[in-house]
Amino acid sequence: MTSLYKKISAVMQDISYLSKDDKVEFNNTKYKAISEEKVTSTVRESLVRNGLIILPVKQSHKREGNLSTVDTEYKIIDIDTGEFEIIVSSGTGADTQDKGVGKAMTYSYKYLLLRSFAIPTGEDPDKISSAELDEKQNKEETDIPPAALKAKYQLGTGSMDGFEDWVKAQQAKGRNFRDMENILQEALNKKKASESA
CATH number of the domain bearing residue 75: 3.30.390
> 79 lies in a domain?
yes
pLDDT digits (tens, 9 = 90+) for 115-150: 999 998 875 555 555 555 556 656 655 567 887 788
Res 43: pLDDT:
95
> 134 lies in a domain?
no
Question: CB count, 10 Å around CB of 128?
Answer: 12
Res 115: pLDDT:
92
> 57 lies in a domain?
yes
Average pLDDT over residues 64-70: 91
Same domain membership, residue 168 and residue 88: no
> 12 lies in a domain?
yes
Average pLDDT over residues 86-90: 95
The domain tally of the chain equals 2
Nearest Cα residue to 187 out of 172, 171, 166, 165: 166
Res 142: pLDDT:
57
Same domain membership, residue 117 and residue 74: yes
Q: pLDDT over 70 for what percent of the chain? A: 88
> 27 lies in a domain?
yes
Please give the DSSP secondary-structure letter assigned to residue 192: H
Q: How far apart are CA 147 and CA 125, in angstroms?
A: 25
Res 191: pLDDT:
80
Same domain membership, residue 113 and residue 44: yes
Res 98: pLDDT:
84
Same domain membership, residue 69 and residue 7: yes
Mean of pLDDT over the chain? 85
Of the three residues 124, 153, 184, the one that is the final residue of a domain is 124
51-84 in b/e burial notation, b at 16+ Cβ within 10 A? ebebeeeeeebeeeeeebbbebebebbbeeeeeb
Res 10: pLDDT:
95
pLDDT digits (tens, 9 = 90+) for 150-179: 888 888 888 889 888 998 898 888 888 888
Q: What domain range is 120 assigned to?
A: 3-124
Res 140: pLDDT:
55
Same domain membership, residue 161 and residue 118: no
Same domain membership, residue 102 and residue 171: no
